[in-house]
């Protein structure tokens, strides 16, 4: 009986000694995926209910030194949402980063966005543009979308647009106070003498900008500062 008890005790003690003598522990990749997915969910916020998130790149299990393990995902930065996102995950042992891995996701996020109702020419003013709602995967869109028709007040199109295209902020520019080839009021002061005449702007700009203006009857343009919409003052 004593012999059997000794053999039994050996089978219990030896594994414990081996575990105690180990210098590393394995961290399963699934734990890193969970930490990264939690960061994706946090970044999606209210869009999470309309999002399809798929893991497309999983790191391998990692071996780290023995100690208390915590996982922390890096915050996502840059354009969001986007079709592909990599989340870096720090593996910490006793508070010290010992490994960093990356989990990759494919995202699809559907939301109602605004699109152009009609074909539009370059220079069309925001006030004349009609926008309609349509469902779109915003993760596949590069750039910022227009959120409301009020956002394009005082703006004009930089280039022609096709009906159905999503309205983007990059499509627009501010309507200048003075445009190229625009007829302008030209003000000039010479001491106590103040003159007013007409001219044609050769460049575009906003209040405070200096543009070349060809005054009626002159052979060469003068430099004039824009002071108001359609009004410039000759720079001495």
Task: Write the CB contacts of 121 (distance below 8 Å, at least 6 apart in sequence).
Answer: 157, 160
The answer to whether residue 149 sits within a structural domain is: yes
Interval 30-40: pLDDT, tens? 999 999 999 99
> Averaged over 133-152, what is the pLDDT?
94
The answer to whether residue 13 sits within a structural domain is: no
Shared domain check, 97 and 117: no
pLDDT at 18 > cutoff 80: no
The answer to whether residue 188 sits within a structural domain is: yes
Q: How far apart are CA 4 and CA 30, in angstroms?
A: 42
The answer to whether residue 11 sits within a structural domain is: no
Interval 56-91: pLDDT, tens? 999 999 999 999 999 999 999 999 999 999 999 999
Q: Which two tokens stand for residue 113?
A: 């966005």
Q: What is the mean pLDDT of the chain?
A: 89
The answer to whether residue 4 sits within a structural domain is: no
Task: Write the CB contacts of 169 (distance below 8 Å, at least 6 apart in sequence).
Answer: 143, 144, 145, 146, 151
pLDDT band at 21 (very low <50, low <70, confident <90, very high): low
Domain that holds residue 57: 27-108
pLDDT at 3 > cutoff 50: no
Are the C-beta atoms of residues 184 and 196 closer than 8 Å to each other? no
Shared domain check, 152 and 120: yes
Interval 45-57: pLDDT, tens? 999 998 999 999 9
The answer to whether residue 152 sits within a structural domain is: yes
Q: Which two tokens stand for residue 170?
A: 């990059």
Task: Write the CB contacts of 149 (distance below 8 Å, at least 6 apart in sequence).
Answer: 114, 126, 129, 131
- In CATH, what number is assigned to the domain containing residue 149? 3.90.1210.10
Give residue 164's pLDDT.
Answer: 96
pLDDT at 168 > cutoff 90: yes
Give residue 191's pLDDT.
Answer: 82
Domain boundary among 174, 194, 226: 174
Indicate the pTM of the whole model.
Answer: 0.67
> Averaged over 201-219, what is the pLDDT?
94
Shared domain check, 61 and 116: no
Pairing of strands 193-201, 183-190: antiparallel
Q: Which two tokens stand for residue 227?
A: 């002071």
Domain boundary among 155, 174, 193: 174
The answer to whether residue 229 sits within a structural domain is: yes
Shared domain check, 143 and 190: no
From 215, 217, 218, select the one nearest 232 (Cα to Cα). Answer: 215
Total of domains in the chain? 3
The answer to whether residue 92 sits within a structural domain is: yes
Shared domain check, 218 and 170: no
């Amino acid at each position: 009986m004593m012999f059997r008890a000794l053999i039994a005790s050996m089978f219990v003690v030896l594994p414990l000694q081996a575990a105690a003598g180990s210098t590393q522990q394995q961290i399963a990749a699934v734990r890193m995926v969970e930490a990264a997915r939690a960061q994706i969910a946090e970044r999606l916020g209210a869009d999470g209910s309309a999002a399809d998130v798929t893991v497309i790149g999983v790191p391998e299990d990692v071996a780290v030194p023995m100690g208390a393990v915590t996982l922390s995902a890096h915050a996502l930065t840059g354009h969001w949402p986007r079709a592909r996102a990599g989340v870096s995950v720090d593996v910490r042992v006793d508070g010290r980063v010992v490994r960093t891995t990356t989990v990759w996701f494919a995202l699809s996020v559907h939301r109602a966005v605004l699109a152009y109702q009609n074909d539009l020419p370059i220079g069309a003013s925001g006030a004349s543009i009609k926008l309609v709602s349509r469902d779109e995967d915003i993760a596949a869109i590069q750039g910022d979308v227009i959120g409301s028709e009020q956002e394009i007040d005082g703006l004009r199109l930089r280039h022609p647009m096709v009906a159905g295209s999503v309205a983007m902020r990059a499509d627009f520019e501010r309507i200048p106070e003075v445009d190229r080839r625009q007829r302008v009021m030209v003000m000039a002061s010479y001491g106590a003498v103040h003159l007013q005449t007409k001219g044609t702007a050769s460049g575009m700009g906003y209040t405070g900008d200096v543009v070349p203006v060809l005054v009626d009857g002159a052979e060469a343009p003068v430099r004039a500062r824009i002071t108001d919409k359609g009004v410039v003052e000759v720079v001495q």
